[in-house]
Amino acid sequence: MSWLHLAILSPFILAVFIPLFYKNFRRIHTGWFVFPLPAVLFGYFLHFIPMNQNGDVYTKTLKWIPSLHVNFTAHIDGLSLLFALLISGIGALVILYSIFYLSKAKEALHSFYVYLLLFMGAMLGVVLSDNLIVLYSFWELTSLSSFLLIGFWYERKKSTSGAQKSLVITVFGGLSMLAGISLLYIITGTFSIQAMSSQIEVITSHELFIPALILFLLGAFTKSAQFPFHIWLPDAMEAPTPVSAYLHSATMVKAGIYLLARMSPIFSDNAVWFITVGIVGSITLFWGSFSAIKQKDLKGILAFSTISQLGLIMSLIGVGSAALHYDYLDDNFYVIALTAAVFHLINHATFKGSLFMIVGIIDHETGTRDIRKLGGLMSIMPISFTIALIGGLSMAGIPPFNGFLSKEMFFTAMTNVMEMDIYHLETWGVLFPIVAWIGSIFTFLYSIILVFKTFTGAYQPEKLAKKPHEAPIGMLISPIILASLVIVFGFFPNILAYTIIEPAMSAIAPQLVQGGERFYINIQFWHGLNLEIAMTLGVILLGILLFVTLKKWTKIYDLLPKKFTLNNLYNGLLKGIEQGSKSITSFFMTGFIRDYLVYIFSFFIVLVLGTMWAKNAFQFDFTNVAPIGVYEAILALVTVAATITTLLSKSRLTAIISLGVVGYTVALFFVLFRAPDLALTQLVIETISVALFLLCFYYLPQLKRNKKLTFRLTNFLISLGVGVVVTLVALSANSNRLFTSISEYFLNESYREAGGKNVVNVILVDFRGFDTLFEITVLGIAAFGIFALIKLQLERRNENEKQ
C-alpha cells in the first residue's frame, strides 16, 4: 500500500480509535486527537504542488478485484489536488473550530468525530479515485456519513427529516450515476477515467452516450444541490455549524462540481452538456439568490447563498464547455470561464467557510439565529463583525476581496457567450449575462442583509436568549485564517495562478494543453472601463436601492403560491409512496399463512413454467433412468399415506408421529440410494424435530376439529401445479445435461486435494469450509440469543416470585 492510499484510508483508521480516546481521556476534548490528521494530510498534499506545476501526475494502484477491472487506483493531478487541499485544509480548520464550539460535557463527541472522519475519508476517496466503481463507493459513503452528521441532533425532528431528505435525494442521484458508469463500461470496457479519456471518439459516437451523460448529470446535480434538487440543502442546516461549514462550503456540495469537472473531457463536446449544465446552473444561481432574501434564519440565508454560488460555478462549467468548440488556445473564451470556475471554487470555500463559522458564533453567543431578533452587535462583537464584513463583501463581489475578482471573470465569461456562433447563441445567448447580472444583484443584497442586519441597527437584548459577548479566541482562529485568505487571495491572486488554478484547468481540459502548451492566467483588479465594470456598478447601486426599500418590495414573496413549491412536491411524493406502499402491503399482508403460500406458490408456478416454455425446456430422456424397485414403491406409498394421515389427524400426537414417519421414510430413501451420511443426518434431525414438537405441543390444548375438512379447488390446483412443476423441472434437468456433473470433480479430487475418502465430509470441511464455518457461526449466534431470552425470562420470573 502506498502513502497515497494510506492518506485516503487514514481517516477511516483513526475513526476506529476515536471511541477509545473519548472513553479513556474524558478531560481532553476528543477533537484534539482528530485535529492533527487533517493538518498532516494538508501538509502531505502540499508537497505535490511542484509536481503538478510541471504538468506531471502521480498514480498508484492497489489491486482489489482485477478480474472485474476494479482496482483502487489513486490519481493526483491538478484537479484532484485542489480538492484534496480543500478537504484537508478546511477540515483541519473546522475541527479546530468544533473543539471550542461543541461542549464535551453535552455532546456525544465520539459519534460526531467518527462521522466527520468517515466523511473526510469518503471525500478524499471521491476526488482521488481513478476507478469509477471505487469513486462511486466513496460517493455513496459521503451521502451516508453526511446523513449521520446532519441528523447528529437526532432528538430534533427537523434534524432527522433534513438528514432523510438529503439521503433520499443524493442517493437517488448516486444510483443514477451508477447506471451511467455501467453504460460507460459497456461502451469502453473499462472503469478507469483516464482510460476513458483516451476513447472520447468511441464514447461520443456510441448510442448510449446521451443516456450516460444525463445519468451523470443527475448524480452531479443532486449532490451539488442544483435546481430542482436543491431543496435538501436548506434542511441540512439543522446540522451543527461545524458540519455546515465543512459539508456545505468546501466539500460535499462541491462533489458534484468535481464530478462534472472530472468528466468534462468525456462529455463536454456535446450540445446537451452545455445547454443542460449552463441553463440549470443559471436557474440555480437566480433562484438561490432570490430565495435567500426572504430567509429569516442566518443559516437559511447561507444555505440559499450556497445554492446560488454553486449555480454560478455550474454555469461557468457549462459555458466553458461551449467554448471548447473554439479549438485554439489563443481564444480566451474557455480560459476565462474555466479560470473563473476554479478560482471561485477556492474563493467560495474561504468566504463561505468563515461566514458559516461566524453565524455559528452568533448562535453560540446570543442563543438565536433569527435575524429579526439581532442587530447592534458590531460594538459588542467587533472581531466577529470584521470577519463577517470581509466574508460578506467578498461574497457580494466587492473589491478588494477575492470574490470580486472571480465575479468579474464570471461576468466576462457570460458576456462572451453572445459572441459564440454555435448553438444559435448569438440570439438566445443574451439570457446568460442577464440572468448572471440579476442573480448578482440578489447576491449583493443577501450579503449586506446578512452582515448589516446582524451587526448594525438597534440592539435588542430583550429578544436574545443570552447576553452576547465576543467569542473566545479559540473559536475565532479558524474564521480569522479564512478571512485572511480572502484578503490575501484578493490582493495577490496570482500566487494561485500556476500553483493551483492552471494545473486544475489542465486536468479539466487536457485536450487544450497538449504538446506542452499551458493556459495563460493573469488575474488582476483593473481591466479598464468595460461592460463588466458597468455591470458591477449596476449591481452595487441597485443592490443598495433594494436594501433601502426592502420592506416595500419583499411582499412579492407572499404572492408566490406556497402550495406549489418543490418542498411540497417532495413531501407529497413521499406521502404518496408511503400511502401506496401501505395500501399494497395491507392488500397482501393478511396475516394468514395460507394466503402467503398461495402468493409464493402461484408465482413459482408461473415463473418456472413460463421460463421453461420460453426456453423450450420440455425435453425428456428416460434412457438412462434407473428402474423403480419394489422398495422404492413401498416407501413412496408409506410417505403418501403418512402425509395424508398428518393432514386428516384429529390428534396432535398422531399428527406428530405421522409427520415423523415421513421424515424417517426419507432417511430410508437415502439408505437405498447409498447416501449413509445424509441418512444419518436426516435421522438425527427428524428425531430432534419430533422431540421438540412433542415438547411444545404438550402445553397446547387438544386439537379439535368441529368442522369437516372442505375441498378447496384453489388449494388443489396450486398444490397440483407445484407438484407437476417440480417433477417437470427434475425430469428436464436430468434429461438436459449441458455439462459434466460437478460430482465427478469431487469424486476425483477429494482424496488428492484434501486427503479424505468421505466425499461429503470433504466438501463440507474443505471445499465449502467457509460456508460451513459461517453456518456454524449463525447457529451459535442463534443459540446465544435463545440462551439470553431464556435467562432473561428466568430472571424476571425470580424477581416476580421475590415480590
Residue 685 DSSP SS3: helix
The three state secondary structure string of 620-688 is CCCCCCCCCCHHHHHHHHHHHHHHHHHHHCCCHHHHHHHHHHHHHHHHHHHHHCCCHHHHHHHHHHHHH
> Could you say which DSSP state residue 465 is in?
S
Residue 700, pLDDT score: 67
CA neighbor of 460 nearest in space, from 372, 385, 386: 372
Note whether 321 and 264 are within 8 A (CB).
Answer: yes
Contact 18, 113 (CB under 8 A): yes
* pLDDT for res 701: 67
pLDDT at 705: 56
Portion of the chain with pLDDT greater than 70, in percent: 96
pLDDT of the residue at 329:
41
Can you say how many angstroms the Cα of residue 37 is from the centroid of all Cα atoms in its chain?
Answer: 24
Q: Which helix (H) or strand (E) holds 287?
A: helix 271-292
Which SS3 state, helix, strand or coil, does residue 199 take?
coil
CA 784/CA 779 separation, integer angstroms: 9
58 backbone dihedrals φ, ψ, rounded to 5°:
-125, 120
The residues with which 59 forms a beta bridge, in sequence order, are 75
Residue type, 86: L
Which segments in the chain show pLDDT lower than 70?
323-334, 513-517, 698-709, 738, 802-803
Q: What pLDDT, on the 0 to 100 scale, is given for residue 515?
A: 58
Which pLDDT belongs to residue 136?
96
Which stretches of 249-331 are assigned E, i.e. beta strand?
Answer: none
The pLDDT value recorded for residue 330 is 43
Q: For the CA atoms of the chain, what is the radius of gyration?
A: 34
**What pLDDT does 523 receive?**
87
- Cα separation, 337 vs 346, whole angstroms: 15
Backbone angles phi, psi at 30, to 5 degrees: -60, -25
Residue type (1 letter), 473: I
The ranges assigned to domains in the chain are 268-548, 593-707+720-738
Find out whether 511 and 130 touch, Cβ atoms under 8 Å: no
Residue type, 537: L
